[in-house]
Structure 1
């Protein structure tokens, strides 16, 4: 079967990172780097304060790359104390908390990010991972479906949705989601992942076959 939901980040520079989890796969969005034109809010915040928040955000990213998740959490929290209206910093904080297995706090961080920007599909995908890590599979499924509604072309949300269905032993739903993920991985030229999903799908389809007499 599939191991428990665990957020992963194999390389913070790539939008899709793949990890084998028994029958399943995980995809994880990259950390958010702050670009001034994208994260400046319509409010009075001094340039010095924004630069200080960006410094702590960058520090958190570097600590994540080193695997020092607890220290990364502190850096992102310091950034938010200075600039509490940054969706990107909340998202980074949630990823760090997830790596540190502080899933309740990760859920809260992603929800805070969604309050600021409810149109970010990657945040919904991350929220689903955090919820799934708590075995809140129905809520995780709802989060992944929100991500799919916002970006139906990204394979990782279908892929994670399939994992959630497998955890519930909903084989047909898992197959449908995984087939959708496979199609989109193929469109991206991710041939090795497509081939791996073929093997997973074969195992899942066998579970739907009636037992031999």
Structure 2
């Protein structure tokens, strides 16, 4: 029997004694998943929990094997995350961030320079992050999510602040990493995803609105 890609077990996340996330059991198989909900619905909290970036009760396993709580370093190599509104120290450059991620996560499925060129990041990647617009920050965040050899890539609101010319490029990357490298995606959105966007790129795959 094939193992689940991501298994959430007895997940409880609370802020100031208020439970904001309660997931008794959720198994995600290979696919592309949309997490659809309005602002404040808990999408980002869910993503940060799945990325292993904030504390929570319960556990999450990658392929029923690597535990977020017991093997956090291995887990974070297998689960990549791009923030909805990324923030980085202003004095570092995008190139510094890429070097750090490549060193930490190892050789990727795809040469990182190819991803840099595809997303149009090369023109500003050597500049300090403090000079970036919100759209430039978004591109760097997405670029970092495609480093290494993850089993899962979490994209939090990838469509916001991204220019329309870059959207097809993002869909191309999702399609390639999903179909060629077997990566499962979980993508959040606060608005319905229209047919003709990623649906055309991963036609026939497991696209689920949660």
The normalised TM-score by structure 2 is 0.33
Larger Rg: 1
Higher relative contact order (CA 8 A, sep 6+): 2
Query: When you count helix as a share of all residues, which structure comes out higher?
Result: 1
